Amino acid sequence: MTEIIDVNIEQAPTKYSIYIDSNPISELHDKIFADNCFSNFLVVISKKVYKIYQKELNINKDNLFILNDGESEKNIENYQKILKRCEEINLDRKSAIIAIGGGVVGDIAGFVAASYMRGIAFIQVPTTLLACVDSSVGGKVAINTKYGKNIVGAFYQPKAVYINLNFLNTLDNRQYKSGIAEIIKYAFIEKSCKAMFDYGLFDFLSVHSSTILDRNLKFLEKIIRICIELKITVIQKDEKESGLRKILNFGHTYGHTLENITKYKKFTHGEAVIFGIFFIINYACKAKIIDANYKELSFELLNKFGFENCKHKFSPQDLLQIMRKDKKSENANIKVIVPTFKGHVKECDLNIQTALPLL
Ligand code: NAD
Ligand code: GLY
């Protein structure tokens, strides 16, 4: 059975559907082409995903761009190479880019789709947990440059998102947990986006941590749906991050900084976000925005998923310099999303004196 979640962004205006199922992956190709009509297409796929699923996906080699794995591949050179392939196979304005992979593939392929001929159709097929719960939905597409993470990009909504849960079976544990990081992020911000759930995601995750770690697909489907619905609640109100959407960056200011300072090679995005969450909880407690009880409760939740607080050995001055270049910064003030109480967050300026000992 296929679950369908509809996204309706009135300001854009744009509407699209997110399909979630666990049908055989071999049916995906026909499903995408039955639902959509394109003059031509380019599939951008990560190397690892291609190796594992090439038979089931059955994509003509002429229509393929295989991207090497890793965050550092989300760069301007690969952006240009993908554009070149679009030109070589004569994609026109009625053509599509189809991203099959994790957030790296989705972000770079989406930016090509947003900019080639001023924008052509874009289809997301997320294959990591992180991409299912976060990056494939909401229309942020980007590449990294030496000046920062996701510093060149666009808001460009996909035409459709196809989530097939079977992909999650082949994710290694590190990548799986990276996806859990973004799920935990939602637990901290859930009430701030006035979620429609009668139970709190924070407690829900805490109670079901072992089921989630065991990758129970039925349960994962539920979690993915919850996260997507939370994200949609936010982006339908604020597609371009002029206000509310900033809460989705909880844990990301410090997280992006760690990714940048290690040249995108040491941490997965999710790992960096987890350190960002630990940092901002410590900061909020030190700044007396939250009390010690909530800090303890938060650490308990993170520990249940095997995440530990740890201090890194980077120069605080270097970290602060990178943070000042964050897209949320204004007039050199570092803006952060801090927890206030369970499920609630707010934006504030980072107090450097309070933050310094924690960096
Ligand atoms: P990723 O795209 O680097 O994928 C992780 C690894 O898993 C890669 O090696 C990939 O080949 C492999 N992989 C993918 N699917 C697989 C599968 N089914 N089986 C086995 N291996 C598989 O990492 P990610 O965590 O998916 O995405 C991180 C990126 O997403 C970052 O660049 C981050 O900035 C971005 N992001 C974007 C948004 C957004 O809104 N656009 C939101 C969150 C994160
Ligand atoms: N992942 C943050 C956002 O989509 O806004």
Mean pLDDT across 289-308: 98
pLDDT band at 302; cut points 50, 70, 90:
very high
% of the chain exceeding 70 in pLDDT: 99
Rounded (10°) angle between helices 76-88 and 103-115: 60
How far does residue 105's CA lie from ligand 2's centre (Å)? 16
Cut 0.75: pTM above it: yes
**All domains of the chain, ordered by start, with CATH?**
3-171 (3.40.50.1970), 180-214+225-358 (1.20.1090.10)
CA distance 109 to 105: 6
Closest CA to 272 of 171, 95, 144: 144
**What is the CB < 6 Å shell around ligand 1?**
46, 48-49, 52, 69, 71, 74, 101-105, 107, 127-128, 130-131, 134-135, 138, 140, 150, 167, 170-171, 175, 178, 268-270
Query: DSSP letters of 11-56?
Result: TTTEEEEEEEE-S-GGGHHHHHHHH---S-EEEEEEHHHHHHHHHH
For residue 196, what pLDDT is reported? 67
Q: Which residues are catalytic?
A: 118, 140, 182, 231, 241, 245, 249, 252, 256, 269
Residue 17, beta-bridge partner list: 6, 160
Q: Say whether pLDDT at 217 is over 70.
A: yes
Both tokens of residue 46? 């990560």
324-341 residue pLDDT tens: 987 777 777 899 999 999
Q: What is the mean pLDDT of the chain?
A: 95
Mean pLDDT across 208-212: 94
pLDDT band at 1; cut points 50, 70, 90:
confident
Q: Say whether pLDDT at 193 is over 90.
A: no
